[in-house]
Amino acid sequence: MTASAAKLKNSGDQLVSIPVINISPYLEGSPDDRLKVAREINKACEEIGFFIIVGHGVEQGLIDRTYSIASEFFRLPVDEKIKIRQPDPAISRGYTPVKGESLSAGLGMGSPGDLKEMIDMGPVDVPGDEYYERPEAGNHFHPNLWPGTPDGFEETMKTYYRRINRLANDLMGLFALALDLPEDFFFDKLDRNMSALRIICYPEQAEQPEPGQVRAGAHTDYGTLTILMSDQSAGGLQAQHRDGYWVDVVPEPGSYVINIGDVMQMWTNDRWVSTLHRVVNPPRDVANTARRHSVVFFHQPNYDAAIETLSSCHGRDRPKKYDSFTYGEHWTRKWMATKK
């Protein structure tokens, strides 16, 4: 099967847009305000698994600095970028050149490599505790690989990672509320999390891509939730509506796109949906100039967190759909399938 099965209409036929949710009443409001936001989140997660947040409180200066230092890195010559090349396919750290990953292969769909380059980073404050060194910890806490240039790269990315991890943990409190659980329900599954920060460049396309080759093939994200910031060049993100057609995801500047990952779908026994999404190529007439950047934070549980159906999401008339396993096992299976 290919990424866009025949029943899909093209995105020009879209009937829905992605909901925009102001989360500041959750961060600062009364219990009633908080519940109202939680209800909006629940609806979005049941219907499309994507929403856009405003009122998130992340300082615009930090967002701008992170974005600009990321784009500066990708403008370096490839000889420079390759100095921090990913050391091994099993280690999610360092630079991966164009076509080094095929996201749709994670769902068993063969395709040429994605038309993007990127740097992968992991946790930036790893305590000296044996939990992080056990065999099951695998490479999840492997040291980061920092480029020597541009100046300030390491410090900026670390600051951004810490800030967005905090936002992600707030969102997980909101998710708990949305699922009628105590607000701290997920916290012991996230307190030693293996979240990842990835900066991506989708270069201009001087040549026609190969058949089936896109900027990022159709995939679902693996963890709890993803916090995405990107610029608006032609050739952008699309999410698949459950009726099969693709919806363009077009955030306003300063907002974040949030999508939920496989773990939320598995924990909720399909009540919430980890939606298929992709990044499409720019139209040929502007492809020569359509360069795009993204800064993506993949929030992921502790490697030993049990991914098993929440007790409130199964019962006699709603059997469990998923076997239980640890998050580390799920991540390793998905990650290794995408490597070229």
Ligand X SMILES: O=C(O)CCC(=O)C(=O)O
Among 40, 117, 120, 221, binds ligand X (CB under 6 A): 221
Position closest to Fe ion via CB: 221
Residue placing its CB nearer to ligand X in the complex, 38 or 228: 228
Residue placing its CB nearer to ligand X in the complex, 173 or 301: 301
Sorted by sequence, the CB contacts under 8 Å of residue 35 that are 6+ apart come out as 177
Q: What's the Rg (C-alpha) of the chain?
A: 19
Sheet holding 196-202, edge to edge: 20-22, 50-54, 256-260, 225-230, 292-299, 196-202, 117-121, 94-96
**Which tokens belong to 260?**
């939920």
**Which tokens belong to 33?**
């305000």
Among 3, 145, 247, 296, binds ligand X (CB under 6 A): 296
Q: Cα(238)–Cα(144) distance, rounded to whole angstroms? A: 30
Tell the smallest beta-carbon distance from residue 277 to ligand X (Å).
Answer: 5
Among 101, 117, 120, 221, binds Fe ion (CB under 5 A): 221
Residue placing its CB nearer to Fe ion in the complex, 179 or 258: 258
Among 279, 280, 290, 305, binds ligand X (CB under 6 A): 279
Among 53, 237, 239, 258, binds ligand X (CB under 6 A): 237
Is residue 294 near ligand X by the rule CB under 6 A? yes
Burial class (CB in 10 A: 0-12, 13-18, 19+), 160: buried
Sorted by sequence, the CB contacts under 8 Å of residue 165 that are 6+ apart come out as 193, 195, 297, 299
Is residue 101 near Fe ion by the rule CB under 5 A? no
Tell the smallest beta-carbon distance from residue 311 to ligand X (Å).
Answer: 30
Sheet holding 277-279, edge to edge: 216-219, 277-279, 237-240, 246-248
Is residue 274 near ligand X by the rule CB under 6 A? no
Q: Cα(117)–Cα(126) distance, rounded to whole angstroms? A: 26
Q: Cα(191)–Cα(186) distance, rounded to whole angstroms? A: 9
Tell the smallest beta-carbon distance from residue 116 to ligand X (Å).
Answer: 8
Q: Cα(149)–Cα(74) distance, rounded to whole angstroms? A: 11
Is residue 263 near ligand X by the rule CB under 6 A? no
* Antiparallel, parallel or unpaired: β 237-240 and 277-279: antiparallel
Which does residue 40 bind out of Fe ion, ligand X, none, counting CB within 5 to 8 angstroms by kind? none
Tell the smallest beta-carbon distance from residue 316 to ligand X (Å).
Answer: 37
Is residue 101 near ligand X by the rule CB under 6 A? no
Tell the smallest beta-carbon distance from residue 275 to Fe ion (Å).
Answer: 9
Tell the smallest beta-carbon distance from residue 222 to Fe ion (Å).
Answer: 9
User: What residues make contact with Fe ion under the rule CB under 5 A?
Assistant: 221
- State the residues that interact with ligand X by CB under 6 A: 200, 216, 221, 228, 230, 237, 277, 279, 294, 296
